[in-house]
Structure 1
């Protein structure tokens, strides 16, 4: 009998630990977070539909496949511009390209190549 009580106490503790890891009883905390993320995604989608025409949305989706981080930057930039009232009407593909060029200028990394001629001259031409 004492073993049954101890086993039940261990099971109860383990169940409490698992529920705490999952975010509450039955993992309910995780569902709220997923719901919030879904709502944010819907809001972003609706704003982008209002701001971009079909060709621009197609281009942005293509960019999202190739370079997701750049697409997220452009989407957040578009949302900020829309919320602050900087965008009047829908942007077409050419206007989106201009916006992309501005983003590229900000994020473009310059690479330099240094060539040390002294080290390269180790093998002489007289050989």
Structure 2
């Protein structure tokens, strides 16, 4: 094999690698764009069904328990998409929902034993 053939082979491999990387980058960008669209859709639905204080409460919960906030949001979005929410959800409603979701959790009990 001549040097020219080897050089051409190396160039071809490099070109294929660059094309593959470009394709992966493009797919990642498309996935990110889809995530952003979905996030915007979710936020739009939540803006329609939650009053500002309820949204603020849910955002505060997200700081401490993101899984719980996601769970509540998912449930609310699902109910809204099924047409089962016929009024604006207030902060007190969010508090009720949160308390019902967390009431089954056992609180750790700390006992002090004196000597």
Alignment TM class, shorter chain as reference: 0.7 to 0.9
Q: Give me the whole-angstrom Cα distance separating, in 2, the residues matched to 1:7 and 1:105.
A: 69
The CA distance in 1 between the partners of 2:28 and 2:66, in whole Å, is 25
Deviation for aligned residue 1:111:
7.2
Q: Which of 91, 94, 97 does residue 92 from structure 2 map onto? A: 94
Task: List runs of 5+ in structure 2 lacking aligned partners.
Answer: 110-115
Could you tell me the TM-score, scaled by structure 2's length?
0.78
SS in 1 for 2:87: coil
- The number of residues matched between the two structures is 109
Which residue number corresponds to residue 2 of structure 2? 2
SS at match of 2:88: coil
Say whether 1:55 aligns with 2:83.
Answer: no
Instruction: Select the structure with the greater relative contact order (CA < 8 A; seq sep ≥ 6).
Output: 2
How many angstroms does 1:105 deviate by?
A: 3.8
Runs of 4+ displaced beyond 3 Å? 17-20, 109-112
Which protein has the larger Cα radius of gyration, Structure 1 or Structure 2?
A: 1
| TM value normalised by structure 1 | 0.72
Displacement after TM superposition at 1:3 (Å): 2.8
Structure 1 residues 104 and 18: CA distance shift in structure 2, 3 A:
farther
Q: 1:2: how far off?
A: 3.1
